[in-house]
Amino acid sequence: MAYPKIDDDIRTKLEAIVGAKNVSFSKDDIEKASVDESPLEPHPPAVVVKPGTAAEVSAIMRLANEKLVSVVAQGSRTGLAGASHPIRGGIALSLERMNKILEIDEENLMAVVEPAALVDDVHKAVEKVGLYYPPDPGQESGSIGGNINTNAGGMRALKYGTTRDYVQALEVVLPSGEVIDVGGKVVKDTTGYSLLDLLIGSEGTLGIVTKATLRLVPKPKHTALIYAPFESTHDAAKAVSEIIRRKVQPFALELMSRHAVETVERYLERKLPDDTHPAYLIVGVESNSESELSTQLETAGEVCIENGAVDAFIADTAEKQRQMWESRKAVYDAYNTFYELDEADICVPRGRVPDFIDKLAGVEAKHHVQIVPVGHAGDGNVHCNIIRLGGTDKEWHEALEASISDLIDLSLAMGGTVSGEHGLGYTKRLYLVRKVGAMQVELMKGIKKVFDPKGILNPDKIWG
Amino acid sequence: MSVGLNIVICIKQVPETTEVEFDKETGRLKREGVAAVINPFDEYAIETGLRLREKHGGRVKVISMGPPAAEQALRDAIAMGCDEGILVSDRVFGGADTWATSLTLAKSIQLSGAHDIIICGLKTTDGDTGQTGPEMAEHLGEPCISYVSQIIDVKDRKITLKRSLDDGVETLEAPLPLIITVSKDVGQPRLATLRGRLAAKKAVINTITNKEMGMNPKELGLDGSYTRVTKIFTPEPHAGGEVIEGTPDQLADAIYAKLKETKII
């Protein structure tokens, strides 16, 4: 299939749709649109187009569909699997102007937002009125559109689930330019196939989200965090299972190694309460009642101590919790500052996390890399930072690919999956078949064909 | 040889908020929905005390003047590692300014046993005066060193320490007992631990009222205060302004010139 260059005709038509100033060939815009946060080499688009409305997105898609120009929708480009890379050039459709929070509906507990609204901005806006948008994928500069397209999870998935559980409705522009509304402000909906659920996590391959209605919950009044140092990662992972078994309902159970703690301390130039133990758990608890919070906090802390934690540090004021979260969330940036690495965001059944972590040393030794697991231990999502230890570029890339491949096989053997929340995008696309098998890949390709018969929207993604 | 220090830390419970809001009608602090915490500056005092105990042995006593609810701040301090909490609380102490507060605190410290060093935070986040520590020293007739950034050593009943000034750092030696106020440079305050929290729950907090102190109520609370709060308001944020840079002396000259120029003086 041909993906022609942007000729004068297409350019003139794009300018007629969004205005000349929103059609950019500038080096700066092209460079920015060439990458996301994956280590993938840049893929420059031919042009960056910045629509301001769904109608403009629709007109662009109509044109692209007619001219067979590939289109990749982009938000904040914080993805980690290359899903927003314009692999075949074409149009990078930057939604950056569509970043407004349109409505906070306190009666229905919902927010209506544009796709480029930042997750952080949504959090702040709804929390101002005592509401809560639970998905918290750590990358605060990520956009809601991107979160929907990767079904992002993050720190609070343990208690609240992933983005999917909080998307009520979407306005989507199809590759043909048709605009569809899926879902609604209804709590229950069994009306045909759920295209809503199909679109969530589709990594920008089926349609372009131009508006999203998000479900909100009341914000818990009291929260606290525990930071518990352990003598081994295995002990920490055991404590995770026990905390769940004891019916504490933490909203977060995060695992950090000493390596991760030291890396964050170096990055933030600030000490965490302890950095001399091999493993750490951060446990987040919340409640509307102070006494219930206290019970949860003490139970979780006691479980940590029973499972070998030397003690459990408690962050109970808002400021102390903010600092602790800031440290946890800085892990990704810290590693990217000091190391050359890529990440496999494996997700295994929660109970298998200790086994999975025990097996990392074997992969490290086999491929001569360092693997630092940092993870949402409570939901089984273990982010494996694979760090370069040396060798030539070629050796490193081979070692990296081989390590990722082995980690995925380990995960699948334990009933786990390839990607918990980053998605397959471009960098992990070859692994889809290992998880779902050829039949399901064919079904997915069939679905893609129905939505995008000409294959112009975000081609080359998800499967190899 | 370890000395075994009797360390007293003065803390205050304050509303946890970065933006203190006042009810414009009544001039009172809006406290609904705002948690009460240890004044963040006082946590540095606690950290200093705990480190002193770790190095020299001894006991850390934490003392707070406030309503009965301030007991929680004392328990929070015990959860961080302090040994003992004393609440100074009586209706007649209410409405005290820094003078009456420092007098009351000084008397209750005298009542509660011997001390080698009293440590205060630099100031409170709600009052913002930084006066209570130094005034307490006046009442007790003890030396006071403010803005302490580092304690170097305690030996032979003498303390050596550093304090930050606008134009440098001073290293001082002083005899015990004394009062210090510490800055954030002393080191990040530790978090409370679960073991500490469980111990704090069981801890007995002794309360000192004016019955024990036996002071003339006229010297206490609002009656014993030399200052009056006539109006409380949230200052509007200023826009613009002029930034003058230079040494403290140059800045003083520049401000003097400015005040003359604008005929304020």
Q: How many domains does chain A have?
A: 4
The string over A62-88, giving b where at least 16 C-beta atoms fall within 10 Å of a residue's C-beta and e elsewhere, is bbbbebebbbbbbbbbbbbbbbbbbbb
User: Which tens digits make up the pLDDT trace of B3-19?
Assistant: 599 999 999 999 887 65
Question: Tokens in use for A230?
Answer: 């352990």
By C-alpha distance, the chain B residue nearest A300 is: B194
A-chain residues near B195 (CB < 8 A): 305, 311-312
Q: Which residues of A touch B16 (CB under 8 A)?
A: 317-319
Instruction: State residue A306's pLDDT score.
Output: 95
Q: Is A227 on the interface with B (CB under 8 A)?
A: yes
Q: Kindly report, residue by residue over B69-91, the tens digit of the pLDDT.
A: 999 999 999 999 999 999 999 99
Give the domains, in start order, of chain B with CATH numbers: 5-219 (3.40.50.620)
pLDDT, tens digit, 9 for 90 and up, residues A26-53: 999 999 999 999 989 999 999 999 999 9
pLDDT of residue A2: 46
Could you tell me how far CA B103 lies from the centroid of its own chain?
A: 13
Residues A347 and A322 in one domain: no
CA–CA separation, B42 vs B38, rounded Å?
7
- Chain B residue nearest residue A301, CA to CA: B194
Size of interface A-B (CB pairs under 8 A): 44
Confirm or reject contact between A313 and chain B (CB < 8 A): yes
Whether cis (ω within 30° of 0) applies to the bond prior to B177 is yes
Q: Which helix (H) or strand (E) holds A336?
A: helix A331-338
How many angstroms separate the CA atoms of B58 and B116, rounded? 10
Task: Say if residue B164 is exposed, middle or buried (CB neighbours under 10 Å; 0-12, 13-18, 19+).
Answer: middle
Point out the domain boundary residue: A94, A125, A144: A94
Q: CB–CB of A422/A150 below 8 Å? A: yes
Predicted structure pTM score: 0.84
Strand-pair partners of A71: A91, A457
- In sequence order, the 6+-apart residues with CB closer than 8 A to the CB of B193 are A311, A312, A313, A314, B79, B80, B81
CATH number at residue A181: 3.30.465.10
Looking at the fold, whether A157 and A203 belong to one and the same domain comes out as yes
Claim to verify: residue A182 and residue A110 sit in the same structural domain: yes
- Say whether B192 and A316 touch across the interface (CB within 8 A): yes
Is A421 in the same domain as A434?
A: yes
Predicted local distance difference test score (pLDDT) of residue A354: 87
Is residue A460 included in any domain, yes or no? no
- Domain presence at residue A398: yes
pLDDT of residue B109 exceeding 60: yes
In terms of domains, do A209 and A105 share one?
yes
In this structure, what CATH number is given to the domain that contains residue A47?
3.30.43.10
What are the Cα distances from residue A200, in Å, to A145, A372, A452, A456? 10, 30, 16, 19
Is A459 a domain residue?
Answer: no
Q: Does residue B245 register a pLDDT over 90?
A: no
Question: Does the residue A349 lie in any domain?
Answer: yes
Among A218, A246, A279, identify where a domain stops. Answer: A218
> Are A206 and A288 contained in the same domain?
no
pLDDT of B35 over the 90 cut: no
* A195 and A291 both lie in a single domain: no
CATH number at residue A301: 3.30.70.2190
CB B119 within 8 A of CB B182: yes
Subunit contact B192:A314, Cβ cutoff 8 A: yes
- What is the bridge-based pairing of β-strands B192-193 and A313-315? antiparallel
Reported confidence tier of residue B262, pLDDT bands at 50, 70, 90: confident
Q: Which domain holds residue A362?
A: 339-449
The per-residue pLDDT for B29 is 64
- Is residue A232 in a domain? yes
Strand, helix or coil for residue B204: coil
What is the model's pLDDT at position A252?
Answer: 93
Residues A267 and A302 in one domain: yes
Q: Would you mind telling me the total number of residues written for chain A in this entry?
A: 464
Closest residue in A to B15 (Cα) is A317
User: pLDDT tens digits, residue range A191-205?
Assistant: 999 999 999 999 999
**B24 pLDDT tier (thresholds 50, 70, 90):** low
3-state SS string over B238-254? CCCCCCCCCCHHHHHHH
Contacts of A270 in chain B (CB under 8 A): 188
Residue B26 has a pLDDT of: 64
Closest Cα of chain B to A122: distance in Å?
21
Write out the two tokens for B179: 């009062």
How many angstroms separate the CA of residue A440 from the nearest CA in chain B?
49
Q: CB-based contact (8 Å) between A316 and chain B?
A: yes
Residues A294 and A192 in one domain: no
Residues A318 and A245 in one domain: yes
**DSSP string of A108-146, one letter each residue:** TTEEEE-TTSBHHHHHHHHHHTTEE---B-S-TT-BHHH
Which ranges of chain A have pLDDT less than 70? 1-4
Contact A17, A43 (CB under 8 A): no
Look at residue A269 and tell me if it is in a domain: yes
d(CA A217, CA A111): 11
What is the ipTM score, two decimals?
0.79
- Mean pLDDT value across residues B125-153: 92
Tell which of A167, A201, A218 closes a domain: A218
DSSP 8-state code for residue B157: T
Same domain, A310 and A384: no
What span, in angstroms and rounded, lies between the C-alpha atoms of B97 and B37?
A: 20
Whether B1 shows a pLDDT value over 50: the answer reads no
* Residue A86, phi-psi category: left (phi > 0), alpha (psi -120 to 50), beta (remainder): beta
Contacts with A239 (C-beta within 8 Å, 6 or more apart), sequence order: A228, A230, A281, A303, A304, A306, A307, A308, A309
- The answer to the question of residue A463 being in a domain is no
- Residue A62 in domain: yes
Residues A185 and A248 in one domain: no
Compute the average pLDDT of residues B128-143.
Answer: 92
Cα angle: A265, vertex A268, A273; to 5 degrees: 45
Task: Give the tokens for residue A88.
Answer: 């075949």
